[in-house]
Amino acid sequence: MIALNLLAGITRGLGITLGATLVFALLLLVLRHFVSLPLIGAYIANLLDLIDQHRGLVR
């Protein structure tokens, strides 16, 4: 009984992990067509500039 429940728990966890991975991969593929990656890169560059400015003020 314990071994059966252990096996069921392992397979359930593996199934959830694989399923979530597939769903997130498909979601990323769909979002990739709607969102421009250079926009995200520009946002991150601005954020890094703000962080560098803040570090300059703190020192």
Tens digit of each residue's pLDDT (9 = 90 or more) over 8-40: 999 999 999 999 999 999 998 888 777 666 777
* pLDDT at position 56 over 90: no
Q: What is the Cα–Cα distance from 33 to 58, expressed in whole angstroms?
A: 40
User: What average pLDDT does the segment 36-45 reach?
Assistant: 76
Residue 59: the pLDDT is 58
The Cα 39–Cα 21 span in angstroms is 25
The whole-number pLDDT of residue 15 equals 96
- Any idea what the Cα angle at residue 24 is, between residues 43 and 8, rounded to 5°? 145
Q: Which amino acid is at 26?
A: L
The pLDDT of residue 9: 96
